[in-house]
Amino acid sequence: MTDKPTIADWKALADKEVKGRDLDWETPEGITVKPLYTQEDAGDPGLPGFGPFTRGVKASMYAGRPWTIRQYAGFSTAEESNAFYRRNLAAGQKGLSVAFDLATHRGYDSDHPRVVGDVGKAGVAIDSVEDMKILFDQIPLDQMSVSMTMNGAVIPCLAFYIIAAEEQGVSQEQLSGTIQNDILKEFMVRNTYIYPPDPSMRIISDIIAYTSENMPKFNSISISGYHMHEAGATAVQELAFTIADGKEYAKQAMATGLDIDKFAGRLSFFFGIGMNFFMEVAKLRAARTLWYRVMDGLGAKAERSKMLRTHCQTSGVSLTEQDPYNNVIRTTIEAMAATLGGTQSLHTNALDEAIALPTDFSARIARNTQIVLQEEAGITKVVDPLGGSYYIEALTDELVEKAWEIIERVEKEGGMAKAVADGWPKGMIEEAAAGRQARVDRGEDVIVGVNKYRLEDEDQIETLDIDNAKVRQGQIARLDKMRAERDEDACQAALNAITEGARADGNMLALAVDAARKRASLGEISDAMEAAFGRYATQPTPVKGIYGAAYEGDPQYALVIDGVDAVSQRLGRKPKILVAKMGQDGHDRGANVVSSAFTDMGFDVISGPLFQTPRETADLALSENVDAVGASSLAAGHKTLIPELINIMKDAGRSDIKVFAGGVIPPQDYEFLRNSGVVGIYGPGSNIVECAADILRLLGHNMPPEGEMEEAAE
């Protein structure tokens, strides 16, 4: 009988196999991952269904009931969205998750002049109770769990849902589902806010109070780490700031006199799931552990109050425009991580969502990914099947420890609301995003089909195109009809009551429910609150030095630096670029990363304010005398907003200002944009160093041709 091999024996054998090469790997979270984990590395995670719920919030988990298949979707009009929902429900989807258009998110009716390019794009347009009734037509709201991703215009949207159910014959007590209602992460990363932080936090408390009293089956808030993940946060940052947000909301509700055990059981969470498979599994287990610790510390007594229940969504930022069928594989891997991590519900992104809203074809594949996992893969047969993995347990403990350090810093410095106001969480996330982009551009983080194994020729895939002008016309017609038929005096009285209640201590949701019943529109309810609260605005301030530090010593990067210097000498100043965000899309990761990288390369970069109209962007470009404008697009307004910007500058006699576009733009739209005057288009996965070289060519500098940069640098 031979002696049992020791760790020293394994190390000697492994070193021999890899010739002494170090196999340790450091993650973006600063966690050193070893090539081998043993029992000595693993802690005791307890049992499923018992605190701290590391292994799951239910003892039986999926063996008792599988996760809810909940696809996030909204398409242009309420009619089209309703038809899509009903098709999906018939095909096996179990819950609804509503995506609203950006005009709705930002509290504008479809007839508002600021949202001409946004109506019906990236979600469904909801202006009134009438739209909400159509959205849920023939969908029994006493039986269907409904999740609504809404934060800025959360008051009118939730009020419309309540009245739509009421007029369907469903009482508030019967409604089940979730409203996102997470404003802190909006100020941090997503930016679809309306009001300043203080009244926004009050709105959250009002909703928690109202739903606790009237809607016992409804989750009053979904505390979202997803948008932090999409903005570039590491797993540790997403964990820490999401749990800290939840703690802040709980403290806010308690400060109004609410008993923590009365509302805490209806708090839910929402995490993004990326491509580091084991890290994502451990992240969900760590989140449950951390939340138990936080709620126990706040004095919660009921075990349900300490359970972290979560929805998850596969990553949008991991989807690629290039070789897009690889996205099916990515989504499957991420969906498996979410389910093996113990999520309560899941949305799987479609393969074409890097460039457009999903088609029926792509949405079916995304939905069936979950059905196959539930019905064929055996995942639902065993509770926490990765529990006891030495690696998983060690990762979970590392994440808990590192996230807790940040949570303690938040608390020490005055809580999450103050931290968000001070800006340091946003800065940390933007540094992580810039670092990630540099690693991708350098090929250190491999993305198959983008920076490795790239196809010579890309076949275009069919994408969904929304006729924005047609949708807007239909919405305006319905608004006009509703306003003509309502009791105007009663409606105005209800709107005045909202403004007065906002100035005093009225419950905003209760007042909005009354106004919705009187057929006040979303924009009117939002305006009534804005009269008391004001509208919030902020200026992006991208980080500096992260991208440049990652490229130190890189010859192609040095070639771009030399090109910027040459253009600067010719102009007598640095080449000046305005990075513009037009329309109501607040996702600014791409714009901030570009601004950060171009600044490090030596360009004079102006980060334009969010939510500009084409006229405002043109005025800023003209007043700053820029050489080029980079228009960042995510929400499909590019065919409306960018041509208008070009025409305004042309009318001003400044057609010499180059306009380039980046972001989520379907290749089918490239020709339209080029014909409109766009000189460069850079979609998801574009290498920023190569983009900068192209901009220098557009500005007249003799850079090496595209594809010859590496050879010229050498």
498-510 per-position pLDDT tens digit = 999 999 999 999 9
Taking the C-alpha atoms of residue 203 and residue 148, their distance in angstroms, rounded to an integer, is 16
709: its two tokens = 């940069």
User: Is there a contact between 108 and 161 (Cβ–Cβ < 8 Å)?
Assistant: no
Q: What 8-state DSSP symbol labels residue 560?
A: H
Beta strands 218-219 and 177-179, pairing class: parallel
Closest residue by Cα to residue 105 from 93, 95, 92, 119:
119
Sorted by sequence, the CB contacts under 8 Å of residue 348 that are 6+ apart come out as 71, 313, 314, 331, 334, 335, 366, 367, 369, 370
pLDDT beyond 50 at 1: no
Run of H or E residues at 347: strand 345-347
The helix/strand count (H/E) of the chain reads as 29, 16
How many C-beta neighbours within 10 Å does residue 86 have?
14
The per-residue DSSP string of 436-477 comes to HHHHHHTTSS--BTTTBS--SSPPP-------HHHHHHHHHH
Most distant CA pair in the chain, distance: 93
pLDDT beyond 60 at 68: yes
pLDDT value of position 23? 93
Looking at domain 41-57+65-442, which CATH architecture does it have?
A: Alpha-Beta Barrel (3.20)
With 0-12 / 13-18 / 19 or more C-beta atoms within 10 angstroms meaning exposed / middle / buried, residue 250 is buried
Percent pLDDT > 70 in the chain is 97
Average pLDDT over residues 216-241: 94
CA distances in angstroms from 437 to 434, 443, 445, 608, listed in the order given: 5, 10, 9, 21
pLDDT beyond 90 at 685: no
Type of residue found at 204: I
Banded pLDDT at 332 (limits 50, 70, 90): very high
Dihedral sign of CA atoms 148, 133, 355, 350 in order: positive
Taking the C-alpha atoms of residue 692 and residue 672, their distance in angstroms, rounded to an integer, is 23
pLDDT by residue (tens digit) across 453-465?
988 888 777 776 6
pLDDT value of position 91? 79
Could you write out the three-class secondary structure of 254-319?
A: HHCCCCHHHHHHHEEEEEEECCCHHHHHHHHHHHHHHHHHHHHHCCCCCHHHHCCCEEEEECCCCC
Query: Mean pLDDT in the chain?
Result: 91
pLDDT beyond 60 at 713: no
Tally of residues, the chain: 714
Banded pLDDT at 624 (limits 50, 70, 90): very high
pLDDT value of position 515? 98
Active site residues: 72, 226-227, 581, 585, 587
102 three-class SS? helix
Residue with tokens 């919705």: 516
153: its two tokens = 């215009």
Average pLDDT over residues 561-573: 92
Taking the C-alpha atoms of residue 538 and residue 108, their distance in angstroms, rounded to an integer, is 18
Taking the C-alpha atoms of residue 674 and residue 659, their distance in angstroms, rounded to an integer, is 10
Banded pLDDT at 480 (limits 50, 70, 90): very high
pLDDT by residue (tens digit) across 257-303?
889 999 999 899 999 999 999 999 999 999 999 999 999 999 999 99
Average pLDDT over residues 93-120: 88
pLDDT value of position 147? 87
Closest residue by Cα to residue 126 from 163, 173, 94, 175:
163
238: its two tokens = 């997403």
586: its two tokens = 């607040």
Residue with tokens 């398409």: 75
Q: Dihedral of the CA atoms 255, 259, 262, 268 (nearest 10)?
A: 40
234 three-class SS? coil
pLDDT beyond 80 at 345: yes
Average pLDDT over residues 192-202: 93
Q: Quote the CATH superfamily of domain 546-713.
A: Cobalamin-binding domain (3.40.50.280)
The per-residue DSSP string of 128-147 comes to SHHHHHHHTTT--TTT--EE
User: Is there a contact between 252 and 238 (Cβ–Cβ < 8 Å)?
Assistant: no
Residue with tokens 């091999």: 5
With 0-12 / 13-18 / 19 or more C-beta atoms within 10 angstroms meaning exposed / middle / buried, residue 679 is middle
Beta bridge partners of 42: none
pLDDT beyond 60 at 632: yes
pLDDT value of position 714? 60
pLDDT beyond 60 at 478: yes
pTM attached to this predicted model = 0.88
Banded pLDDT at 59 (limits 50, 70, 90): very high
632: its two tokens = 């960042």
Beta bridge partners of 269: 223, 310
Please state at what angle helix 688-698 crosses helix 555-571, rounded to 10 degrees: 30
Closest residue by Cα to residue 428 from 447, 446, 402:
402
Hey, where are the domains in the chain?
7-36, 41-57+65-442, 546-713
User: Is there a contact between 289 and 250 (Cβ–Cβ < 8 Å)?
Assistant: no
pLDDT value of position 636? 62
CA distances in angstroms from 417 to 200, 251, 403, listed in the order given: 11, 11, 18
Sorted by sequence, the CB contacts under 8 Å of residue 506 that are 6+ apart come out as 497, 498, 500
